């Protein structure tokens, strides 16, 4: 099936998927499968929350701090709310934040990286300076600073996180572009009279796109952690929205009494982050050999 | 006489060694790579003109300058009489429909993320389809473009074209890729094609096929070729006229048959002799030039080949650096190095144009003065004849050379040679 | 007298995601002391893999079968420590691109000191440098280059430095893998003249791996022609070139373009993929003298003629 995918498809995405499927049985491939599986499961949880969650997450449904057991598989928290329901409903937040923040980061970082890398010269140096300054800030601190200024809400948090990550996309893309720029096929395209926009869009971008999935996964993992961090610090979302980070901030002082209320949200943050990291690392291993496509096919050298 | 298709007059292309303001301050100032240093030639329509030389001689730079990838520093480029030395973007766009480049490494010239059909379609989308009377017709019709690509594939022997359209470069063989590159270039219907080492990366058993293919294309499309190579044997077979390049200049130029029958320039002779022949019966002891091609930032004075030339004369351009090279080579032998240690080590000598000097400091310059005079007379060869004087100035021993004779290309038996022997 | 290097039924197979790649198949070759053997073939024929197999420099996904005997010892059976000992001391290798083979962050003298110390940890720095200077003089590189970094040297000098590093321990066999392919023709001739003079001085044998038939003709005593991972023809150089027997060798020699060429010839078709198993002679699809048996039965190498040439072809 991997073969079919690789041979039959002519689009670049198709070939990438084909290669990925071909690597299914390697360690890297397995990592990616596991990671994707977990992320998809959580996604399903998030989407089907109204149907799966046993209770309303914001209503007090029992005495506070009941241990796991019986009707409350994960126990209840300080507010008497069912931890399991809060976990299920809470999965929506990190996923939404990932979606929004990475989109913003990519939408700004990618074009900037492309243009800056291609143009070079003073403009490149200028943008690089700005990006490096942002990059130099510890991510969490910067997110805190921005969140403190623009306030709470999913969109605002996403924006704060996005800003932290724009320089990463920018740098990786820009570096890749500067090296691809020197490749003979780019020069050939210029020699054939291609306008600059076309050269960037059709000759450079497709060859640089391989770096993106990896940054994306790392970005996503980081976004989850940052959001949780912000929530624990009280800068996250308004209280009405179930959120794993918020739950930790709510319950951690009572850890010795009701460990489950802190433990389960923390565990799920860990699971999601690790799954995303698996995807990133695995893709990195798989796609990097693709970057060296031009060298000999393994073993067939003289 | 009909006007030549392409005329290159005294073309010079220099590249700065240091880019960036700060580097220029800290580094060697205005050092520039003299990639092409005054080259003049012309190509007649329908001809195959070869530029032959080793790496670093400037032939690839000339190729890039002709297609507008590199800007000429000075000189003139004339295409059918029209001055295209510094084309504005519009002129450049049109010029690229008339002069195109085939690359050495066909694989590198194709984007790995694009099918080969798309690569050619893109060219047609940008420049339009070739019209019946030599004009170009812009079209948005994807079908028309695809048809045109199919036709081009057929022309270069990639049949069936529909099969090849969707292939990626890494699915094709070296020869097939080279054909794709040719097809892409032909989509523009150029008049002059610059082929930069088109077969260097192909195996020997398939080279002939590619060369035959290039000749077929030439006949079919009425092309003119500028054939760039380091392989004299291929050039002999393919080219009508050739120019031998060394360090940015053409040292010998004329009809291929004339030059190969009787090479005049010592460098041409050296190149011919150095080629290994697959015939074990003919093992001749070769007389090879000394040393290697020097860097093009500070080319040797006078004739650039003089430090290595087996037939060098006194007036060829001896200068301070040559004294240092002489000492260095001489003192490779440990006994000589020890015996003449007074004058050493090599790094104490300094070259400054036509002068070589050694600061003696506290030591007595007398013995070194004698020593250096003896060395020059003994093993300097023609260099000794170029010495104006050896002297002691204070604490410094100075060797001064006479300036070299002026070097201009001269006609000799049907070709141009730039050598003082003629 | 046992030969210096004996390869017997040597095979190298690479495990790739697409399947097994048989880079070298059943190669038997002998190199006597004091001789130069040329291993010639086009890209993908397996010659570089063969060179690396001798020194056990292959990547992890390679499986080696058969035997490699160097001075009577079975190289493939040596422990990692023993093979490290052998490399650079008795058996040395120089590669195609000298720039990437020298550490750009190390001065030349450090390259020498490290190499010497790797085999003789007790040597003092002064002694090591003396040896370095001597060997540099043999390759005609001025000793002041010792203080420089690789990028400060010219291409030809870097290749000479590489050769010098190999000569430090007077190896009995030097494997040269395309040593001049990246160099210009005059430089190539210079390096080869250098190798020739060194060979006599150091009583060294050379295995010259190249695709350049001219080099092999001028330089080697015996030559082996490789195709698709196997040896097509092997014998003394002058008779082989005068009268090639294997159709591939004949085709190859015909297609060489030299100063005498008046017409172009190329061998039709493409070299086969080394992926998977094939039956019969690998040259079958391209051979103009093929017979029915060639398609199904592989022609084992047989001795032909007075010059005892080994030819893998059913015609003989």
How many Å apart are CA B329 and CA B336, to the nearest integer? 10
Residues of C in contact with A300 (CB under 8 A): 14, 16, 21, 23, 44, 273-275
C46 touches chain A (CB under 8 A): yes
Find chains touching chain C: ≥3 CB pairs under 8 Å. A, B
Under 8 Å CB-to-CB from A189, ≥6 apart: which residues?
Answer: A198, A199, A203, B111
Residues 60-99 of B with CB under 8 A from A: 67-69, 92-93, 96-97
**pLDDT above 90: residue B76:** yes
How many Å apart are CA B417 and CA B419, to the nearest integer? 6
How many Å apart are CA B166 and CA C16, to the nearest integer? 25
Tokens 């924006």 sit on residue: A159
How many Å apart are CA A49 and CA B363, to the nearest integer? 94
- Kindly state the average pLDDT of the residues B17-36: 70
C15 touches chain A (CB under 8 A): yes
Sign of CA dihedral B270, B276, B282, B286: positive
* Spatial strand order in the sheet of B6-16: B32-43, B6-16, B74-79, B82-83
Q: Which of B325, B342, B303 is nearest to B381 (CA)?
A: B325
pLDDT of amino acid C305: 87
Q: Are A45 and A296 in contact (CB under 8 A)?
A: no
Three-state DSSP state, B218 = helix
- Higher-confidence residue of B41 and A248: namely B41
Instruction: Give which of C157, C185, C225, C244 to mutate to test B binding, by max B Cβ within 10 Å.
Output: C185
Which of A22, A298, A302 is closest, CB to CB, to C44? Answer: A302
In B297-404, which ranges are E strands?
349-352, 355-359, 387-393, 396-401
Q: Do A299 and C45 touch (CB under 8 A)?
A: no
Give me the numbers of helices (H) and strands (E) for chain C, helices first please.
11, 12
pLDDT of amino acid A296: 36
How many domains is chain C partitioned into structurally?
1
Q: Which of C145, C261, C260, C141 is nearest to C190 (CA)?
A: C141
Give buried/exposed letters for B371-404 (b at 16+ CB in 10 A, else e): bbbebbeeebeebeebbeeeeeeeebbbbbbeeb
Q: pLDDT over 90 for what percent of chain B?
A: 38
How many Å apart are CA B310 and CA B287, to the nearest integer? 8
- Kindly state the average pLDDT of the residues A181-202: 89
Which CATH number fits the domain that encloses residue C291?
3.40.50.300
B408 C-beta neighbours (distance < 10 Å), count? 8
**pLDDT above 60: residue A297:** no
* Spatial strand order in the sheet of B355-359: B349-352, B355-359, B396-401, B387-393
Angle at which helices C185-202 and C155-167 pack, to 10 degrees?
20
pLDDT of amino acid C47: 92
What's the burial of C316, exposed, middle or buried (CB within 10 Å: 0-12/13-18/19+)?
middle
Q: Do B122 and A184 touch (CB under 8 A)?
A: no
Which of A23, A298, A300 is closest, CB to CB, to C44? Answer: A300
A298 touches chain B (CB under 8 A): no
Query: Options 2.60.120.10, 3.40.630.30, 3.90.1580.10, 3.40.50.300; which CATH number does B1-98+190-301+406-422 get?
Result: 3.40.50.300
How many Å apart are CA B218 and CA B102, to the nearest integer? 13
Residue C23, in any domain of the structure: yes
How many Å apart are CA C143 and CA C123, to the nearest integer? 20
Q: Which of A69-73, A269-273, C157-161, C243-247 has the lowest mean pLDDT?
A: A69-73
Tens digit of each residue's pLDDT (9 = 90 or more) over B252-265:
999 999 999 999 99
How many Å apart are CA C288 and CA B191, to the nearest integer? 39
How many Å apart are CA A235 and CA A161, to the nearest integer? 12
Query: Cα dist. A161→A143, A175, B213, C316 in Å?
Result: 6, 22, 58, 76
Q: Any idea of the CA torsion for C149, C155, C156, C160, to the nearest 10 degrees?
A: 40
Residue C117, in any domain of the structure: no
Tens digit of each residue's pLDDT (9 = 90 or more) over B346-365:
888 888 889 998 888 888 88
Tokens representing A262 are 């802190």
Q: How many CA atoms lie within 13 A of A77 on its CB side?
A: 26
- Higher-confidence residue of C167 and A2: namely C167
**pLDDT above 60: residue B271:** yes
Under 8 Å CB-to-CB from C266, ≥6 apart: which residues?
Answer: B205, B206, B207, B208, B209, B212, C255
Residue C109, in any domain of the structure: no
Q: How many CA atoms lie within 13 A of C88 on its CB side?
A: 17
Q: What is the DSSP string of C125-169?
A: HHHHHHHHHHHHHHTT--GGGGGS-GGGS-HHHHHHHHHHHHHTT
Tokens 């035997």 sit on residue: C67
Residues 254-283 of B with CB under 8 A from C: 260, 270-281, 283
pLDDT of amino acid A288: 67
Q: How confident is the model at residue A295 (pLDDT cuts 50, 70, 90)?
A: very low
Residues of C in contact with B207 (CB under 8 A): 255, 257, 266
Average pLDDT value over all residues in chain B = 88
Under 8 Å CB-to-CB from B302, ≥6 apart: which residues?
Answer: B315, B316, B317, B318, B319, B404, B405, B407
Residue C99, in any domain of the structure: no
Q: Which of C24, C65, C41, C55 is nearest to A299 (CA)?
A: C24
Q: Do B100 and A198 touch (CB under 8 A)?
A: no
Residues of C in contact with B286 (CB under 8 A): 189, 193
Tokens representing A254 are 């009572």
Tokens representing B354 are 């036509």
In whole angstroms, what separates CA A25 from the centre of its chain?
A: 24
C289 C-beta neighbours (distance < 10 Å), count? 12
Q: How confident is the model at residue B203 (pLDDT cuts 50, 70, 90)?
A: confident
Vertex C180, ends C176 and C181: CA angle to 5°?
Answer: 110
Q: Are C252 and B205 in contact (CB under 8 A)?
A: yes
Length of chain C: 316
- Kindly state the average pLDDT of the residues A264-290: 84
Instruction: Give which of A26, A29, A296, A302 to mutate to test C binding, by max C Cβ within 10 Å.
Output: A302
Q: Which of C203, C283, C285 is nearest to C245 (CA)?
A: C283
Three-state DSSP state, B14 = strand
pLDDT of amino acid A301: 31
How many Å apart are CA A220 and CA C272, to the nearest integer? 46
Q: Residue C225's domain spans which residues?
A: 5-90+169-311
Q: Which of C252, C256, C206, C255 is nearest to C227 (CA)?
A: C252
How many Å apart are CA B358 and CA B361, to the nearest integer? 9
pLDDT of amino acid C2: 66
Q: Tell me, which fold does domain A59-277 have in CATH?
A: MetI-like fold (1.10.3720)
Q: The complex's ipTM?
A: 0.87
pLDDT of amino acid A294: 36
Residues of C in contact with A29 (CB under 8 A): none
Under 8 Å CB-to-CB from B174, ≥6 apart: which residues?
Answer: B106, B107, B201, B202, B203, B206
How many Å apart are CA B375 and CA B355, to the nearest integer? 16
DSSP category for residue A234: T
Tokens representing B363 are 């030591």
B204 C-beta neighbours (distance < 10 Å), count? 21
Residues of A in contact with C59 (CB under 8 A): 299
How many Å apart are CA C109 and CA A109, to the nearest integer? 46
Q: Where are the domains of chain B?
A: 1-98+190-301+406-422, 109-182, 320-401
pTM assigned to the model: 0.83
- Which ranges in B68-203 belong to alpha helices (H)? 89-95, 116-127, 142-155, 161-165, 174-186
Strands B224-229 and B192-196: parallel
pLDDT of amino acid C247: 94
C274 touches chain A (CB under 8 A): yes
Tens digit of each residue's pLDDT (9 = 90 or more) over A228-245:
888 888 777 777 788 888
Under 8 Å CB-to-CB from A204, ≥6 apart: which residues?
Answer: A114, A118, A177, A180, A181, A186
Give me the numbers of helices (H) and strands (E) for chain A, helices first please.
15, 0
Sign of CA dihedral A38, A41, A46, A49: negative
Q: How confident is the model at residue A298 (pLDDT cuts 50, 70, 90)?
A: very low
How many Å apart are CA B141 and CA B323, to the nearest integer? 69
B298 touches chain A (CB under 8 A): no
The most confident of the ranges A13-22, A208-217, C145-154 is C145-154
Tens-digit pLDDT string for chain C (316 aa): 468 999 999 999 998 877 889 999 999 999 998 899 999 998 889 999 999 999 888 888 899 999 999 988 898 888 888 888 888 888 999 888 777 788 888 999 999 999 898 888 888 889 999 999 989 988 989 888 899 998 888 888 888 999 999 899 889 999 999 988 878 888 888 988 898 888 888 889 999 999 999 999 988 999 999 999 999 999 999 999 999 999 999 999 998 988 888 888 888 888 888 887 788 899 999 998 989 999 989 999 999 988 889 999 999 8
- Higher-confidence residue of B149 and A20: namely B149
Q: Where are the domains of chain A?
A: 59-277
Residues of B in contact with C211 (CB under 8 A): 203-204
**pLDDT above 80: residue A10:** no
pLDDT of amino acid B202: 84
- Kindly state the average pLDDT of the residues B318-326: 90
Q: How confident is the model at residue A9 (pLDDT cuts 50, 70, 90)?
A: very low
Sign of CA dihedral B16, B17, B20, B22: negative
């Amino acid at each position: 099936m991997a073969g079919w995918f690789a041979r039959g498809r002519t689009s670049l995405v198709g070939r990438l998927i084909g290669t990925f499927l071909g690597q299914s049985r390697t360690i890297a491939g397995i990592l990616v499968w596991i990671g994707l599986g977990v992320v998809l499961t959580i996604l399903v949880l998030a989407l089907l929350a109204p149907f799966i969650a046993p209770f309303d997450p914001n209503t007090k449904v029992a005495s506070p701090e009941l241990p796991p057991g019986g009707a409350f598989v994960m126990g209840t928290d300080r507010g008497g709310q069912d931890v399991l329901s809060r976990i299920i409903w809470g999965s929506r937040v990190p996923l939404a934040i990932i979606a929004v923040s990475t989109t913003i980061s990519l939408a700004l970082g990618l074009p900037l990286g492309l243009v800056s890398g291609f143009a070079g010269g003073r403009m490149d140096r200028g943008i690089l300076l700005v990006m490096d300054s942002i990059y130099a800030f510890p991510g969490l601190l910067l997110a805190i600073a921005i969140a403190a200024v623009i306030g709470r809400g999913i969109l605002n948090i996403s924006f704060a996180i996005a800003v932290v990550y724009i320089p990463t996309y920018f740098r990786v893309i820009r570096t890749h572009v500067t090296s691809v720029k020197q490749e003979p096929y780019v020069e050939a395209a210029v020699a054939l009279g291609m306008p600059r926009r076309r050269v960037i869009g059709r000759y450079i971008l497709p060859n640089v796109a391989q770096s993106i999935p990896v940054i994306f996964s790392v970005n996503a993992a980081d976004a989850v952690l940052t959001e949780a961090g912000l929530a624990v610090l009280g800068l996250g979302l308004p209280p009405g929205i179930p959120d794993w980070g918020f739950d930790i901030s709510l319950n951690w002082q009572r850890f010795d009494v009701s460990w489950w209320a802190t433990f389960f949200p923390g565990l799920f943050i860990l699971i999601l982050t690790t799954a995303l990291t698996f995807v990133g690392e695995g893709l990195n291993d798989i796609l990097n050999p693709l970057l060296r496509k031009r060298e000999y096919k393994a073993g067939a050298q003289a | 006489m009909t006007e030549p298709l392409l005329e290159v007059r005294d073309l010079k292309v220099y590249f700065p060694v240091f880019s960036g303001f700060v580097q220029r301050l800290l580094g060697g100032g205005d050092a520039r790579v003299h990639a092409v240093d005054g080259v003049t030639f012309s190509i007649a329509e329908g001809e195959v003109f070869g530029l032959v030389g080793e790496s670093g001689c400037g032939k690839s730079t000339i190729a890039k300058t002709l297609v507008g990838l590199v800007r000429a520093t000075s000189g003139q480029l004339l295409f059918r009489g029209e001055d295209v030395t510094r084309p504005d973007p519009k002129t450049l766009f049109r010029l690229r429909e008339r002069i195109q480049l085939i690359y050495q490494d066909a694989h590198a010239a194709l984007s790995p993320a694009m099918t080969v059909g798309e690569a050619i379609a893109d060219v047609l989308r940008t420049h339009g389809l070739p019209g019946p009377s030599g004009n170009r017709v812009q079209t948005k019709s994807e079908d028309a473009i695809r048809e045109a690509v199919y036709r081009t594939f057929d022309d270069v022997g990639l049949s069936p074209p529909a099969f090849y359209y969707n292939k990626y470069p890494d699915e094709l063989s070296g020869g097939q890729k080279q054909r794709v590159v040719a097809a892409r270039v032909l989509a523009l219907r150029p008049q002059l094609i610059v082929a930069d080492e088109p077969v260097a990366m192909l195996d020997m058993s398939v080279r002939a096929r590619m060369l035959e293919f290039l000749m077929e294309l030439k006949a079919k499309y009425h092309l003119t070729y500028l054939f760039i190579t380091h392989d004299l044997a291929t050039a002999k077979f393919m080219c009508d006229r050739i120019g031998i390049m060394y360090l940015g200049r053409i040292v010998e130029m004329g009809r291929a048959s004339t030059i190969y029958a009787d090479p005049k320039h010592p460098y041409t002779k050296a190149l011919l002799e150095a080629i290994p022949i697959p015939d074990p019966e003919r093992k001749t002891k070769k007389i090879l030039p000394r040393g290697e091609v020097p860097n093009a930032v500070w080319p040797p004075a006078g004739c650039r080949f003089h430090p290595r030339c087996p037939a060098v004369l006194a007036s060829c351009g001896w200068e301070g650096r040559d004294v240092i090279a002489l000492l260095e080579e001489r003192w490779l032998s440990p006994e000589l190095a020890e015996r003449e240690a007074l004058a050493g080590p090599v790094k104490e000598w300094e070259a400054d144009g036509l002068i070589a000097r050694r600061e003696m400091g506290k030591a007595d310059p007398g013995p070194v003065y004698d020593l250096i005079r003896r060395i020059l007379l003994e093993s300097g060869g023609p260099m000794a004849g170029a010495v104006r004087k050896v002297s002691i100035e204070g604490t410094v021993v100075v060797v001064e050379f006479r300036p070299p004779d002026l070097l201009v290309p001269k006609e000799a038996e049907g070709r141009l040679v730039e050598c003082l022997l003629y | 007298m046992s030969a210096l290097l004996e390869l017997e039924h040597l095979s190298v197979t690479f495990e790739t995601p697409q399947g097994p790649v048989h880079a070298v198949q059943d190669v038997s070759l002998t190199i006597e002391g004091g001789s130069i053997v040329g291993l010639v073939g086009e890209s993908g024929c397996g010659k570089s893999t063969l060179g690396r197999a001798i020194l056990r420099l292959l990547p992890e996904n390679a499986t080696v079968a058969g035997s490699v005997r160097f001075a009577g010892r079975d190289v493939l059976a040596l422990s990692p420590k023993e093979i490290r000992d052998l490399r650079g001391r008795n058996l040395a290798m120089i590669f195609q691109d000298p720039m990437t083979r020298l550490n750009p962050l190390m001065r030349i003298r450090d390259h020498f000191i490290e190499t010497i110390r790797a085999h003789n940890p007790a040597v003092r720095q002064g002694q090591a440098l003396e040896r370095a200077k001597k060997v540099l003089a043999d390759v005609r590189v001025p000793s002041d280059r010792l203080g420089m970094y690789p990028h400060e040297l010219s291409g030809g000098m870097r290749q000479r430095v590489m050769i010098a590093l190999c000569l430090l321990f007077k190896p009995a066999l030097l494997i040269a893998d395309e040593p001049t392919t990246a160099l210009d023709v005059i430089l190539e001739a210079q390096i080869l003249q250098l190798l020739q003079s060194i060979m006599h001085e150091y009583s060294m044998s050379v295995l010259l791996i190249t695709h350049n038939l001219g080099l092999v003709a001028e330089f080697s005593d015996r030559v082996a022609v490789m195709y698709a991972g196997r040896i097509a023809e092997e014998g003394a150089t002058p008779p082989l070139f005068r009268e090639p027997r294997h159709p591939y060798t004949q085709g190859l020699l015909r297609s060489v373009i030299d100063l005498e060429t008046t017409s172009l010839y190329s061998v039709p078709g493409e070299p086969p993929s080394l992926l998977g198993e094939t039956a019969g002679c690998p040259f079958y699809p391209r051979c103009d003298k093929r017979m029915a048996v060639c398609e199904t039965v592989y022609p084992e190498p047989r001795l032909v003629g007075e010059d005892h040439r080994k030819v893998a072809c059913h015609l003989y």
